[in-house]
A and B are shown apart, each in its own frame.
Chain A
Amino acid sequence: MPAKMQLTKGNEALAMGAIAGGCDCFFGYPITPQNEVPEVLSYEMPKRGRVFVQAESEVASINMVYGAAAAGKRAMTSSSSPGVSLMMEGLSYIACAELPCLIVNVMRGGPGLGSITPSQGDYFQACKGGGHGDYHSVVLAPWNVQEMYEFPALAFELADRYRCPAMLLADGVLGAMMEPAEISDDAPPPNVPEKPWATNGRNGRAHKNVVNSLVIDPYGLRDHNLKLQAKYKAMECETRWDTRDVDDAEILVVAYGISARLALSGCKLARKKGIKAGLLRPITLFPFPSKQIAECARNKKRILVVELSAGQMVEDVRLAVNGDVPVDFYGEMGGVIPSPAEVCEKIVEAAQ
């Protein structure tokens, strides 16, 4: 059946997107607000002869992902903030062992048990490593249900290309909202590159393969770190971003995910009031569109960063413009979502 427009919930789109993206194995532990992901996959995966396991914990989930990814399969897990925190040791191992896989975080309010309401409070964890040691995941931030469907495939593709974990950073609104989206039930299988490094049994191979994150020799570990860092640098060409009405804008709003939706509405309201505002939306949070933000900010009066956090991505925006343009911040926490009118108000304030 070809892709058709259907009214779809974000989490369900994500689950179908994982299937379209060639996910062979899903391992996960239930947590709100992403439960539809494992629920849908629990029947859609076995139907297609693929693997679904409800793990006993997020610690187990991420280590099952480690095993299946080491075996050369497209493997993923999905969770929300507290569960993703539990995965950090495993993620660090995966990054060091250079295994491609997908981790979904449908973020909820924190810290602690927090709430089940939407949040963007895990930006630091997602983009700065999160677990121990110097590593990064590719981080993709969808802003609508269509991207919830499309990004798992993109995430797997980038993960395979760079042999690194990819994270899809969504939030409780994107997971729960319903929108028309073009979804296919039987997308053609994606092209998956050969994985000659996989530990899948030698099967005639002249040498054994080892998947490992232990490098006991200091120079060896330094060299491995340098290799990882070179890879992160090379990823810069994968940077993705989107701009709306920025050319003539005096105020540049920078926001990702659901905040970008609110910010775009806020910009439109501001234009009605005669203030020229435009939006830059980072789509990859790692690699971060620093150059693009700096370039776009060049002739702007001020930048306003909008997040559902106390101010996390704003630090990267400030680093990007390096003091050339003043950067304001507007954030809400705990699941409180600002209205477009409130964003507009902040744009008006910035313009004065």
Chain B
Amino acid sequence: MTTAMNSQDGMKKQNGGSVAAEDLVDLKCVFERPQSLSDKPFHYCPGCSHGTYHRLIAEMIDEFGFMDRTVGICPVGCAVFAYEYFETDMIEASHGRAPAVATGVKRALPDRFVFTYQGDGDLASIGMGEIIHAAARGERITVFFVNNGIFGMTGGQMAPTSLIGQKTTTSVDGRDARATGHPIRVCELLSNLEGVAYMARVALTSPKNINTCRKYMRKAIRAQTEDVGLGLVEVLSPCPVQWGMSPGDALHHIEEDVVKEFPPGEFVDKLADPVKA
């Protein structure tokens, strides 16, 4: 789905064929690629939501009019090539260190919009130190966090966010709490830190939830632009390939099981929100 969305060639083919160009003049464009998203086809597996989240980020950058003043920082993980998909300036960080890199950029250029894009291995395993301290310092950065409960890129190993009982290539009989501990709930953990201005979690499983995600993302961006503190949106995301499920089953699995361990909702909101007030 995401590949077609992002592919100009695909759009041309759909619109082209035998229809003459002049017949299209009166047609209204109802859906197009955000300006901040490049026309490079995503490399993600079918049913993966990395591409969906990329598109949402690009939509937001367009909506806020930030394309000209954004610096994005990509992770090491399946989204390692994210720098190819955005039309903004991009930095590829080492595994887990995106919040430190973002700190360097934001302190150097306080008036730019700085975001990180990080997986759960990146943020909650190797990079836990960097995200905690960036949050504690209240760095004015926005973190787009993709929790798919697994190390997608390296072949489906256990992540700190894998569910108890989840089969992975390093927990072949299912994750055993006695041996490997319990899933880390990032939003719950970080919400104790004063530097966090906005934090929310949403399952990226339906159009409705995608709209909710947009709402959360807007606030996580405002947390930075209104100089309140760090903003973070965690998306519960499918990894059908490494979960060994069909794309449809993977979405059901999130809605049935994953949300029990990782309840969606807003955890911190320090923005003066007229709707909430």
Contacts and interface: CB of A to CB of B under 8 A. Distances in A.
User: Do the two chains belong together in a single complex?
Assistant: yes
A68 B109 CA distance: 8
Which bucket holds chain B's interface residue count?
35 or more
A51 B132 CA distance: 21
Contacts of A66: 91, 93-94, 97, 100-101, 104
B90 interface: yes
Interface stretch (B16-24, B69-77, B200-208): B69-77
Contact of B94 (A53, A63, A199, A210): A63
A323 B75 CA distance: 49
A136 interface: no
Interface stretch (B79-87, B148-156, B222-230): B79-87
Interface stretch (A69-77, A180-188, A221-229, A331-339): A69-77
A280 B113 CA distance: 51
Contact of B71 (A60, A71, A93): A71
A200 B71 contact: yes
B129 A56 contact: yes
A90 B88 CA distance: 23
A67 B100 contact: yes
B107 interface: yes
B103 interface: yes
A322 interface: no
A64 interface: yes
A60 B130 CA distance: 7
A230 to B, nearest CB: 23
A63 B108 contact: no
Interface centre among B89, B94, B112 (most CB of A within 10 A): B89
Contact of A210 (B68, B91, B108, B112): B91
A18 B175 CA distance: 50
Contacts, number: 134
A210 B90 contact: yes
B92 interface: yes
Interface string A80-91: 000000000110
A24 B97 contact: no
Contacts of A64: 100-101, 103-104, 107
Nearest to B132: A56
B130 A71 contact: no
B23 to A, nearest CB: 33
B67 interface: yes
A99 to B, nearest CB: 10
B33 interface: no
B105 interface: yes
A208 interface: yes
B92 A211 contact: yes
B92 A68 contact: no
Contacts of B250: none
A166 to B, nearest CB: 17
B144 to A, nearest CB: 17
A208 B107 contact: no
A71 B94 contact: no
Contacts of A89: 94
Interface in B136-164: 137
A55 B102 CA distance: 13
Contact of A203 (B68, B90, B108): B68
A99 B106 CA distance: 17
A212 B82 CA distance: 11
A273 B101 CA distance: 57
B245 to A, nearest CB: 28
Nearest to B69: A201
A199 B90 contact: yes
A107 interface: no
A213 interface: yes
Nearest to B66: A201
Interface string A181-205: 0000000000000000001111110
Given A56-B133, A199-B90, A210-B89, A68 B97 contact: no
Contact of B83 (A60, A202, A212): A212
A60 B129 contact: yes
A139 B222 CA distance: 43
B190 to A, nearest CB: 14
A72 to B, nearest CB: 8
Nearest to A52: B107
B100 A208 contact: no
A208 B89 contact: yes
A200 B86 contact: no
A67 B68 contact: no
Nearest to A74: B108
A59 B67 CA distance: 30
Interface string B111-134: 011000000000000000110110
A19 interface: no
Given A24-B108, A201-B109, 7 more contacts: A59-B129, A60-B97, A71-B108, A199-B90, A201-B69, A202-B67, A204-B68
For the complex of A and B, list the 5 residue pairs with the smallest distance between their C-beta atoms, beginning with the closest: A67-B104, A63-B100, A64-B104, A67-B101, A68-B104
5 contacts: A51-B108, A56-B130, A60-B100, A208-B87, A212-B83
